[in-house]
Structure 1
Amino acid sequence: MIVVLCGPGGVGKGTVAAEVVRRVPMLELSRSWTTRAIRPGESPDAYTFVTRERFVAAVEAGFFLEWEEFGGQLYGTPRPEGGVGSVLLEIDARGATTVRRLEPSSLIIGLEPPSLEVLRDRMARRGDGEHHIERRLAIASEEMVLARTVADHIVVNGDLANTVEEVVGLIEAWMVARSRG
């Protein structure tokens, strides 16, 4: 079973996903691959950081469930391994659209910021440069519109505790419904 948490960069997907996985033990977080450099202060296990050559070889081998190029960098979600019960993907809305097409029964939850100004502040706090922030904000509204077309639910990430509680509730309800057939 695949659960997707999608939304624009800086919305808090990683923070929410880490808390959700902590609270829902049968859910395993998929670690995406990227060719971008690690950000200052970013955890080295936030992504599998690889060269473009290694990433392209993985694409050619059919390793990814979905992958995208954004800002000149490649990002991809490995296919879930056999034996994994439920997996949580933390990806953008374009990737969620691909997952919906390939795995129609997946649960897709879109995360949105309370406002674009809050989104700007979050990106600045995580160390993104002004040029990067402006570029990401320019497409954030489009990403949110796309997420609304593909997501089963939209959650506004204003307060972390409330957001996590809402997302966990949605996932648990979905899992119960799936187990009943």
Structure 2
Amino acid sequence: MIVVICGPGGVGKGTIARRLAGSLPSAHLARSWTTRPRRPGEGDEAYEFVSREDFESAIDQGMFVEWASFNGRLYGTPRSELERGDPTILEIDVQGARSVRMLELEAAIIGVVPPSFHELERRMRARGDDDAHVESRLAIAANEVEAMIGLADHIVVNDRLERAIDEVAGIVRGAALRPE
């Protein structure tokens, strides 16, 4: 089983994905690669931080199940993350979710949206994003939310974190119990 949690930056998809992985004993959160620098206070487990050269070499070798360029940085999920045999949670952007859908993998795609773009801006600033980054991400976020409407199997509004986590967990439990 593959669970894709996607949404614009700052919406809380990473927090939801980590908490979901912690509540499902047999599941793991896929560790994506990125060429972006580590944010202040961001742990080693957040991403595999690699050079652009290493990332591009991995693309050439077909190592990613999905990858995307976003704001000049590369992000991708290694195929090895899906080959472990246990339920896998992917925390990816909308481009990545679209790639997973196009591959026709058995995946539940859950789109996470903010209660408002004002709140999304507040969250980005609270995590330390600079003005230029916030403006760029907000401009992209509206398009991402619109794209998710036609892409995701479920949409969850992250207005209160605990409620959003419970809703996502309920969707995952329902998908796991659904007959093939």
The TM-score normalised by the length of structure 2 is: 0.96
Give the Cα separation in 2 of the matches to 1:82 and 1:122: 34
Give the Cα separation in 2 of the matches to 1:73 and 1:139: 14
* 1:69-94 residue CA offsets vs partner (Å, 9 max, x unmatched): 11111100111343322110000111
User: Matched residue pairs, number?
Assistant: 179
Do the aligned partners of 1:28 and 1:84 also contact (CA within 8 Å) in 2? no
Identify the residue that residue 121 of structure 1 maps to in structure 2: 122
* 1:15-39 residue CA offsets vs partner (Å, 9 max, x unmatched): 1111101111122100110001001
Ranges in structure 2 where 5+ consecutive residues have no aligned partner: none
Q: Give the secondary-structure state (helix, strand or coil) at the position aligned to 1:122.
A: helix
1:91 aligns with 2:95: no
1:166 aligns with 2:167: yes
Tell me the CA shift for residue 45 of structure 1.
Answer: 1.4
Do the aligned partners of 1:7 and 1:144 also contact (CA within 8 Å) in 2? yes
Give the Cα separation in 1 of the matches to 2:104 and 2:125: 34
1:131 aligns with 2:132: yes
Do the aligned partners of 2:2 and 2:108 also contact (CA within 8 Å) in 1? yes
Give the Cα separation in 2 of the matches to 1:165 and 1:25: 16
Identify the residue that residue 20 of structure 1 maps to in structure 2: 20
Ranges in structure 1 where 5+ consecutive residues have no aligned partner: none
Identify the residue that residue 38 of structure 1 maps to in structure 2: 38
* 1:139-171 residue CA offsets vs partner (Å, 9 max, x unmatched): 101000111111000000011110110000000
Give the Cα separation in 1 of the matches to 2:159 and 2:84: 35
Q: Flag the 1:149–1:81 CA change in 2: closer, same or farther, 3 A.
A: closer
The TM-score normalised by the length of structure 1 is: 0.96
1:60 aligns with 2:60: yes
Question: 2:53 corresponds to which letter in structure 1?
Answer: E
Tell me the CA shift for residue 103 of structure 1.
Answer: 2.8
Identify the residue that residue 78 of structure 1 maps to in structure 2: 78
Question: 2:153 corresponds to which letter in structure 1?
Answer: D
Give the Cα separation in 2 of the matches to 1:68 and 1:145: 18
